[in-house]
Structure 1
Amino acid sequence: MTVSFLCRCAAVCLCVALNFPLVTSCLADRPLLRIDSALDPSVLKPHAVELSVEHQPDGSVLRMSAGHDYRWPGITITLEGDNRNLSKYGFVAVDVHNVGPKSVGFAVRVDSLDADLESDSLTENQTLAAGETRTVRAALRRKMPDHLKGRLMGMRSNPEGFSEDQGLDTDAIDKILLFVTKKDHEQTVEISSVRAEGDSKVATIWLDSNADPFPMIDLFGQYAHADWPGKTHSLAELKQNLILEEQDIDANPSPEHWDLYGGYVAGPELKATGHFRVQKYEGKWWLVDPEGRLFWSNGIDCVDTNSAQTPITDREFYFSDLPQRDSPMGGLYGRGNWAPHGYYKDRGRYETFNFTAANLVRKYGEDWRTLSRDLAHRRLRSWGLNTIANWSDENVYRMERTPYVVTCNSAGRRIEGSSGYWGKFPDPFDSEFAESVRRSMEYYRNAANSPWCIGVFVDNELAWGDELSLAKAALQSPSDQPAKQAFVDALKLKYARIENLNETWGTPFASWAALLEEPLNEQTMPDDAKAGDDLRAFYSQIGEQYFRVCRQAVKSAAPNTLYLGCRFAWVNDLAVRASAKHCDVIGFNRYEYSVADYQLPEGVDRPAIIGEFHFGALDRGLFHTGLKPTKNQQARADAYRDYLRGALQNPIWVGAHWFQYGDQAATGRGDGENYQIGFVDVCDTPYPETIQAARQIGDSMYQLRLEPVKMSSPIPAP
């Protein structure tokens, strides 16, 4: 494999390193708990755990075995002396190894004391697979200085990680808590290091109340007060990067042994149907491409030109060089109103500017749309990716040069008693629900019927809750809620008389009409132990109705296209079992460091696909890592490679899609997300570390997938 572009980028990085301050760590790590033969576990405050110091060839570890009776079993480390002042550091890092045979939810909580001796805290939670070793890092987000309050809005994180409501007094860190979530099985972890690491890099311009840090965003949409490897400093650099990348793609056009679709031409030749389908082959689930070749969907979301579109209303002072509205780039201003969270929530319409598109105009000229769409396909193939995934530009995937997925959405009434991060749960018993999915599929009919279409997702990250939640939500809804009416009908069929229901539930309903008319609340809701079987049964009925209606809509418009589910983010076994009855492939969004050991509920044997995952770091000018932080770009690339290796070795997964193609805007999208999660930055420049890792996986993924099923190995710490 030729890596000319990567080598050139490394040379550019070296030049930058010689001339500019970089966002890299030069501060020595500070141990916060010395784990050695001299450590007396009694100085730690345990909570339902047993502690011991174990001496191993590589050094001593603190072994923590959790009990079963405490919700958050763990230990509290009280800091003293100089260790309380961590203002120069960016993270508290803990190296932890899961000794046991099952996964462990491990958390690091950092507490500080403010001037009134009240505690503030921040927590980082991560799941460790059986046998896994990882570094868990809790970011030391600072309290926002008074002179900046109300000026750094609309972003999940800002240039220095200041927080108005969840920040720490980093010069007064009081305690560190290490704990696991309660499980019904024994949990044992080994902790080998607890330390402060990474420079805080709080720039003087932000701390000095007399300094004016604004504007903080340059012409290209980059942070103005720092430099880093790969930052674009001029239009000439922007265009030179295109020349270098074209040379790199010419030298690395595609992984070997791929067919037209990205399937494995060197593998077995199976039944070809002209469409994508699923098949279990040698103990592992696979997609099979239209030509009958084994296919594993290695993809990327949001292949479009909008990733760095950002609200500017109330924040124009952030930006140094926004174009005149009557200039050739004036058409890149827009309007938006989507803001389910954050500063712009409930503020109505706001104005936006699209930095991604602006830089594409500068880079490619008037024909930027056509040239960037063409390059997207060539990039993906060169990088070892064979799928254009969710929320991508229809103008890109309908070129039919890379396999793609289609995403539909439901509409109609929501279950009024429900709640969730993205909103209330759809009511699948509402007639408008079925009609809305049918209309959405009708719009995508041609795209969904193409042989290039892998399958169709409907909806995303719905609030499935626990195994009782949706049934309770129906009971908490008004009498005209279709889901509530369906629940009462099911109860009538089972119990016949309201007195029989009352006897089982321990409730005083005067009639079926009274149960239907009265929205229940915490006081009138039946006891879980008494009504649990009925609540779970109706929860399953909601799930099966949801997936049945969605499948019918998908198959009515595109009978040969796979139905990929709803991309579970928060889920329980009942919901998964309901999906397995109707989905060809079960979709999940899995923001973890490893999915190697992920299993479906016992007895469920279906293929599954990952619709979203990502990692990010803070060493390239952005302010938030995204949902899974890593230390730097090389660690991000390593985490990406290890995640995909684990997915390829797990028999259930038939693909994994990275979120997303380009970095989000430094100043955030409508809901404030401003994550460093792109394969390319705001200037459309690829991240060389990530591209190299992607090519390594793309070159070897079919060989890895075809290896015999085996237990996964511990995943290296990111």
Structure 2
Amino acid sequence: MTNPRCFWLFLCAIAALMCPETGRAAAEPPPQVLWDFSRPFNTTLIQTTDAQATPQGGRALLVETGTKHPYPGVTLKAPRERWDLSRYRSVEVFLKNTGTSNVTIHCRVDNPGADGRTNCANGSLRLEPGASGVLTVALSTTPWRLSAPLELIGMRGAPGQNERLNPANVTQILLFAGNPKTPHRFEVTQIRAVGGVTTLDAKTFIPFIDEFGQFIHADWPGKIHSVAELASRAKAEEAELAKFPGPTQRNQYGGYTGGPQLKATGFFRVEKYQGKWWLVDPEGRLFWSHGVDCVTPSSPTPISDREHYFRQLPPADSPAGRFYGSGGSAPHGYYQDKPRFRTFDFAQANLLLKYGESWPQVHADVSHRRLRSWGMNTIANWSDAAIYEMRRTPYTANLSFRSKMVEGSTGYWGKFPDVFDPEFARGIRSAVERQRGRAVGDPWCIGFFVHNELSWGDDTSLAVAALQSPPEQAAKKAFLEDLQTKYGDIAKLNAAWQTTYATWDDLRRSTNRPNLKAAGADLRAFYTRFAETYFRVIRDALKEVAPNQLYLGCRFAWVNDAAAMAAAKYCDVVSYNRYDYSVANHRLPGNLDRPTIIGEFHFGALDRGMFHTGLRPTANQEDRARKYAEYVRGALRNPQIVGTHWFQYRDQATTGRFDGENYQIGLVDICDTPYPETIRAVREVGYDLYRIRLSAP
């Protein structure tokens, strides 16, 4: 009988030989200079908005922005009414911050009718005082364009999709600051179009994903072309891990043995040491959490309705057939309304090819050794319990649970839980109890995150949502009790809120949106009560069941001061998912001095066969690595931040996860190959972690 694994490998090899990559890029065109301020230029083509633009003696254009307009800056018109940049990949703007404060400079490249969202492309660059840099704006969403329109489903980014700019008809370029609180000064020396794009034949574009889950129509450093290459990568990495076993002066947890010996409690805790917040490990050593989310072998992609995108999906009865699965209830994207859809996991299939049948154990072992070698010390949110429960690397756990929601609320990930309903307290208590014998009481568990990226809105939103909910909503009942206690008579509330309710029952039955100005004080008061109840109920449940472990907050993405202050009151560490280029100056509101942690950040580029950069784009892998080091160094200088967790360990599938995200954000790619540029940066910062932190002013 034919060995099914050998037969599958044979199919992979034949597919690779028969379908080589196509559509390689032509030679890049030479850069096209759009504005050169070191030479004479036509000042009539420059318009200002709450700004001054002054030539600097044949050297640069000085832009000085005000604070009256939300977007003060300059508009640079095309000298001949338009530029045809259809041959180019991006626009580069050479800048210097000549002011005395940090500035984020935004650039918008416009077609006629641009409004900031449509008919334009955008980019930004943050510069410290005296710093110079290059701001890059991509003219198309990927380095590839299609010869004709082609609808591709289930992906946030893909060639020819979601284009918002026609590069052949660029009429102006805007440079501006966004909602500045202080004036800024910056110089522009040159603006140019650079890089080339590849036009792919739409008729032959599909299939565009190979048997390893990679893009077919391009090649790049690190791309896998055969099963033999997977094996050779594993062997080469073993040599690298032996060469870089990990930083010195670290204990088993990754705490700093070259620093002070503090009180050892057997669990992680927080302490302020020499003016900076720190985690302290179970042995009493200073610990700064340098980690990564989603340490897991899995990265499934939906295949329903698009099986033809893939060159060679394996037979169901082959060894890789075990990696077919199903999904449902996607919150966004093409599969949002699909109750069930089929998936395939190229990441796990590649691990089988790379490591053989023992791949789960080998991958888990390699993951721990990688993190140590890279100078990382934390397996962070949404990671595989089978990996972190090996207790070789400290980890964070995540608690989630079902409870009734505030029906009048809305949010990117869904409605907000009703913290006044008894089901909320029961839910969190049950979630913690389920961790007994696992994360609860485990000294390797730093602490618990609860929820992720809830929609906190502004400081009235949850109160408004309660009022717009049905009469039986617990949050609405709680709010009305507060109002009845304050006003007593409905007529007094009507006078204050400028309403005409006949009775309190009328208000209870109403779902009308209140007058925010008239009712603002009451709305804000209940919002604060709502937020504090949320954090207090969770804190109490955690400390009752897991008294020795840290409550790490809810991973703020959208937040206001009232919610952040409530978190600081009840959380051991306040967590933020902060997708910026720097968090060096990130602070809690109201001069609160509490420890914070970055639960997510990332950068991506499009020079390795992926279709989307993620939330913070970079020019290429070297730039991505540089941005990583700058971000973590900035966090190390911040006295409140006790750790950064990169999102995520592995690239998302080229064709997208359940909600279409298909970002180049991994430390390793879909074939389990580490990105060497980024790993060098991770290792450089990780090995020097404690010196940087301790020496920061």
TM over 0.5: yes
The code of the aligned residue for 1:630 comes to T
Residue by residue over 1:197-251, the C-alpha shift from the partner in whole angstroms, topping out at 9 and shown as x without a partner, is: 332x233324xxxx31111111111111111111111111110110110011111
Aligned pair partner of 1:186 in 178, 183, 186: 183
Change in Cα spacing, 1:547 to 1:119, as seen in structure 2 (3 Å) is closer
Q: Is the 8 A contact 2:141 2:612 kept in 1?
A: no
Report how far residue 141 of structure 1 moved: 2.5
Structure 2 counterpart of 1:358:
349
CA distance in 2, matches of 1:599, 1:440: 31
> Does 2:199 match 1:203?
yes
Change in Cα spacing, 1:382 to 1:28, as seen in structure 2 (3 Å) is same
Greater mean alpha carbon deviation, residues 435-444 or residues 374-383: 435-444
Report how far residue 40 of structure 1 moved: 5.3
The code of the aligned residue for 2:521 comes to D
CA distance in 2, matches of 1:53, 1:170: 28
The code of the aligned residue for 1:508 comes to T
CA distance in 2, matches of 1:518, 1:132: 56
Structure 1 counterpart of 2:36:
34
Residue by residue over 1:138-165, the C-alpha shift from the partner in whole angstroms, topping out at 9 and shown as x without a partner, is: 3222798695433x1111111x3x235x
SS of match in other structure, 1:226: coil
Report how far residue 403 of structure 1 moved: 0.1
Structure 1 counterpart of 2:579:
591
Structure 1 counterpart of 2:11:
none
Aligned pair partner of 2:238 in 237, 246, 264: 246
Report how far residue 102 of structure 1 moved: 5.3
CA distance in 1, matches of 2:328, 2:177: 40
Structure 1 counterpart of 2:301:
310
Structure 2 counterpart of 1:174:
171
Residue by residue over 1:36-63, the C-alpha shift from the partner in whole angstroms, topping out at 9 and shown as x without a partner, is: 363455422222323323459xx42331
Report how far residue 471 of structure 1 moved: 1.8
Structure 2 counterpart of 1:409:
400
SS of match in other structure, 1:298: strand
CA distance in 2, matches of 1:119, 1:558: 50
CA distance in 2, matches of 1:305, 1:39: 56
> Does 2:63 match 1:63?
yes
Aligned pair partner of 1:396 in 387, 404, 409: 387
CA distance in 2, matches of 1:382, 1:372: 15
Matches within 5 A, 1:284-433: 284-307=276-299, 309-433=300-424
Q: Is the 8 A contact 1:216 1:225 kept in 2?
A: yes
SS of match in other structure, 2:463: helix
Change in Cα spacing, 1:167 to 1:145, as seen in structure 2 (3 Å) is farther
Identity level (%): 49
> Does 2:515 match 1:526?
yes
Q: Is the 8 A contact 1:283 1:651 kept in 2?
A: yes
Report how far residue 104 of structure 1 moved: 4.5
SS of match in other structure, 1:448: coil
Change in Cα spacing, 1:513 to 1:120, as seen in structure 2 (3 Å) is same
Q: Is the 8 A contact 2:51 2:63 kept in 1?
A: no
Aligned pair partner of 1:665 in 645, 653, 660: 653
The code of the aligned residue for 1:325 comes to A
Structure 1 counterpart of 2:55:
53
Q: Is the 8 A contact 1:35 1:62 kept in 2?
A: no
Residue by residue over 1:299-331, the C-alpha shift from the partner in whole angstroms, topping out at 9 and shown as x without a partner, is: 000000113x11111111111111001112111
Structure 1 counterpart of 2:71:
72
Scaled by the length of structure 2, what TM-score is found?
0.91
Question: Where does structure 2 lack aligned partners over 5 or more consecutive residues?
Answer: 1-20
Structure 1 counterpart of 2:10:
none
Q: Is the 8 A contact 1:477 1:520 kept in 2?
A: no
Question: Where does structure 1 lack aligned partners over 5 or more consecutive residues?
Answer: 1-18, 710-718
The code of the aligned residue for 1:596 comes to A
Matches within 5 A, 1:439-518: 439-445=430-436, 446-518=438-510
Structure 2 counterpart of 1:678:
666
Residue by residue over 1:540-560, the C-alpha shift from the partner in whole angstroms, topping out at 9 and shown as x without a partner, is: 111111111111222222110
CA distance in 2, matches of 1:24, 1:558: 60
Q: Is the 8 A contact 1:99 1:131 kept in 2?
A: yes
SS of match in other structure, 1:581: helix
Greater mean alpha carbon deviation, residues 212-221 or residues 415-424: 415-424
Report how far residue 393 of structure 1 moved: 0.3
Change in Cα spacing, 1:142 to 1:564, as seen in structure 2 (3 Å) is closer
Structure 2 counterpart of 1:108:
107
CA distance in 2, matches of 1:472, 1:107: 34
Structure 2 counterpart of 1:149:
150
Report how far residue 347 of structure 1 moved: 1.7
The code of the aligned residue for 1:439 comes to S
> Does 2:685 match 1:694?
no
The code of the aligned residue for 1:620 comes to R
The code of the aligned residue for 1:542 comes to F
Change in Cα spacing, 1:495 to 1:351, as seen in structure 2 (3 Å) is same
The code of the aligned residue for 1:607 comes to P
Residue by residue over 1:377-432, the C-alpha shift from the partner in whole angstroms, topping out at 9 and shown as x without a partner, is: 01100010000001000000000000000001242222222222212222211222
CA distance in 1, matches of 2:25, 2:570: 49
The code of the aligned residue for 2:242 comes to D
CA distance in 2, matches of 1:358, 1:382: 25
Report how far residue 635 of structure 1 moved: 0.8
CA distance in 2, matches of 1:129, 1:435: 48
Change in Cα spacing, 1:577 to 1:192, as seen in structure 2 (3 Å) is farther
Q: Is the 8 A contact 1:506 1:526 kept in 2?
A: yes
Scaled by the length of structure 1, what TM-score is found?
0.89
SS of match in other structure, 1:107: strand
Matches within 5 A, 1:503-652: 503-521=495-513, 525-528=514-517, 530-652=518-640
Residue by residue over 1:112-158, the C-alpha shift from the partner in whole angstroms, topping out at 9 and shown as x without a partner, is: 249xxx972333456666666543333222798695433x1111111
SS of match in other structure, 1:275: coil
Greater mean alpha carbon deviation, residues 99-108 or residues 267-276: 99-108
CA distance in 2, matches of 1:671, 1:184: 37
CA distance in 1, matches of 2:179, 2:164: 27
CA distance in 2, matches of 1:119, 1:304: 37
Number of aligned residues: 672
CA distance in 1, matches of 2:423, 2:668: 40
Greater mean alpha carbon deviation, residues 348-357 or residues 490-499: 490-499
Structure 2 counterpart of 1:15:
none
Q: Is the 8 A contact 1:49 1:66 kept in 2?
A: yes
Change in Cα spacing, 1:33 to 1:283, as seen in structure 2 (3 Å) is same
Change in Cα spacing, 1:135 to 1:543, as seen in structure 2 (3 Å) is farther
Q: Is the 8 A contact 1:25 1:198 kept in 2?
A: no
Q: Is the 8 A contact 2:333 2:660 kept in 1?
A: yes
Q: Is the 8 A contact 1:21 1:228 kept in 2?
A: no
Residue by residue over 1:328-361, the C-alpha shift from the partner in whole angstroms, topping out at 9 and shown as x without a partner, is: 2111000001421111111221100000100000
CA distance in 2, matches of 1:531, 1:203: 57
Q: Is the 8 A contact 1:104 1:181 kept in 2?
A: no
Greater mean alpha carbon deviation, residues 636-645 or residues 101-110: 101-110
The code of the aligned residue for 2:231 comes to K
